[in-house]
């Protein structure tokens, strides 16, 4: 059966986030992991959040946390000229995660960027690009907003920048009138799972 356009796009985005990095693992461990992934595939958890469950009170509590955060970020939508910088952000952000990955290249990023239903937001902190979130639209009428990936450089991890990016994603989706939010996360990435649950999924 031919691969649908949606399946192809999901595969590309997953490949962007979930490919193998060898330098932090022993060679034998890496080979075992590669073999397991080739046989079983990467296991994802898809988390859903209907928009009607996002109460004004909950939204305000997140906004308040962001307002009192010492980190202030400017958020912008990525352009093609950001791709090399985004590649560097990605490679730095995933150094400390337990999600298997390998450095990404600009060509792979461009395949994702060029999809008209995919948007990348970048966060700048203290004049430096420090995090990103990849948003995707699915459904017959693009009524489903998917947080396809979120990364923060090590310096700002666990300091509130992920929450700022999550709120920016929500604001973007809200403006587009989505009915449901979704997020996919690698099953063994406990930090990401905890964060996603914390923001309401």
> For 52-66, what is each residue's pLDDT tens digit?
767 677 777 777 776
What mean pLDDT is predicted for residues 7-26? 49
CA distance linking residue 115 with residue 11, whole number of Å: 13
pLDDT of the residue at 28 = 52
Q: Is 63 left (phi over 0), alpha (psi -120 to 50) or beta?
A: alpha
H runs (alpha helix) in 41-189: 56-67, 83-93, 106-113, 161-175
pLDDT band for position 32 (50/70/90)? low
The answer for residues whose C-beta is within 8 angstroms of residue 1's C-beta and 6 or more apart is: none
pLDDT of the residue at 23 = 40
Q: What percent of the chain has pLDDT over 70?
A: 58
Domain spans of the chain, in order of start: 5-198
CA distance linking residue 153 with residue 131, whole number of Å: 6
What is the Cα 23 distance to its own chain's centre?
23
| 119-134 pLDDT tens trace | 999 999 999 999 999 9
- pTM of this structure: 0.70
pLDDT of the residue at 106 = 92
Query: Of the candidates 66, 34, 89, 59, which has an alpha carbon nearest to the alpha carbon of residue 159?
Result: 66
pLDDT of the residue at 34 = 47
CA distance linking residue 73 with residue 152, whole number of Å: 12
CA distance linking residue 170 with residue 145, whole number of Å: 9
For the segment(s) 5-198, the CATH number from 1.10.3720.10, 3.40.630.30, 3.40.50.2300, 3.40.50.150 is: 3.40.630.30
Are 143 and 84 spatial neighbours (Cβ–Cβ below 8 Å)? no
How many residues are present in the chain?
201
DSSP string, 61-100: HHHHHHHT-S--EEEEE--GGGHHHHHHHHHHHGGG-SS-
| 154-190 pLDDT tens trace | 988 888 888 889 889 988 998 999 988 887 665 555 5
Q: Which residue has the tokens 């992991």?
A: 33
User: Does residue 82 register a pLDDT over 90?
Assistant: yes
């Amino acid at each position: 059966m031919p691969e649908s356009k949606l399946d192809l796009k999901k595969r590309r985005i997953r490949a962007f986030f979930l490919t193998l990095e060898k330098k932090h693992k022993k060679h034998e461990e890496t080979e075992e992991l590669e073999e397991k992934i080739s046989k079983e595939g990467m296991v994802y958890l898809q988390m859903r959040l209907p928009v009607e469950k996002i109460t004004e009170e909950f939204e305000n509590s997140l906004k308040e946390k962001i307002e009192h955060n010492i980190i202030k970020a400017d958020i912008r939508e990525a352009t093609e000229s950001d791709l090399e910088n985004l590649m560097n952000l990605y490679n730095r952000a995933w150094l400390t995660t337990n999600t298997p990955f390998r450095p990404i290249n600009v060509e792979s990023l461009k395949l994702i960027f060029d999809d008209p239903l995919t948007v990348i937001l970048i966060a700048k902190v203290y004049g430096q690009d420090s995090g990103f979130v990849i948003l995707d639209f699915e459904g017959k009428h693009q009524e489903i907003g998917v947080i396809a990936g979120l990364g923060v450089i090590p310096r700002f991890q666990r300091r509130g920048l992920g929450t700022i990016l999550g709120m920016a994603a929500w604001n973007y989706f809200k403006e587009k009138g989505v009915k449901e939010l979704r997020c996919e996360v690698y099953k063994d990435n406990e930090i990401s799972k905890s964060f996603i649950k914390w923001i309401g999924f």
